[in-house]
Amino acid sequence: MSSTNRNIELATEIAAYVKRKGGTPTAAARELDIKYTPSIRNSLKELEPDIDRYRYAFQRIGEWMTLPTDFIGDRNKQRITCMCCNCGAIKEVSLLNLISKRSLSCKTCALKNRSNITVIADDGELFNSIRSFVRSLGKDTSYQSIRHILQSDGSITINSKTYALQS
């Protein structure tokens, strides 16, 4: 087999990998144990001029599944087409909000989740919001810190009673 044909074959293999799993050709070549030479790079560019559309594709971030999107080459302005796996909505989400996990689902599902929050105590006592839970403790001034602990740890123990976040 000529080296040109071999390069095309390897470029095809790399392209198929990227189109299945997302990411960059460089990362795909590494995964596939292929030395990503300039000639393979050129073959790939000819075969799949739009391969950069897959750079951020097929990653699950919260409820979002990222989809192929035009690559603009500016992280700060890049938006990604995403599908909310909870409801199927397709939206454009800023890359930075995805990376920082500020956005984990479409706004509709995010609001729904927020209103469904309950706090449950180990003896079964139930609160329909973090606010009402904190109020029942008479610790209104500690609302922010209690909420923070609940959201990062999932539970908090106060006076030897454990309260867990349930959604």
Give me the residues that bind Zn ion (CB under 5 A), please: 84, 86-87, 89, 106, 109
CA 66-22-11 angle, 5° bins: 155
From the CB of 17, what's the least distance to Zn ion, in Å?
Answer: 29
Q: What is the DSSP letter of 88?
A: -
Nearer to Zn ion, 8 or 109 (CB): 109
Q: Where are the alpha helices (DSSP H) in 48-128?
A: 95-99, 107-115
From the CB of 114, what's the least distance to Zn ion, in Å?
Answer: 13
Nearer to Zn ion, 12 or 86 (CB): 86
Nearer to Zn ion, 48 or 63 (CB): 63
From the CB of 112, what's the least distance to Zn ion, in Å?
Answer: 8
Q: Where are the alpha helices (DSSP H) in 25-72?
A: 25-32, 38-47
Cβ atoms of 6 and 41 within 8 Å: the answer is no
CA 147 and chain centroid, separation: 23
From the CB of 83, what's the least distance to Zn ion, in Å?
Answer: 9
**Nearest residue to 98 (alpha-carbon basis) of 87, 113, 83:** 83
Nearer to Zn ion, 10 or 109 (CB): 109
From the CB of 117, what's the least distance to Zn ion, in Å?
Answer: 17
Report the SS3 class of residue 15.
helix
Nearer to Zn ion, 94 or 155 (CB): 94
Report the SS3 class of residue 27.
helix
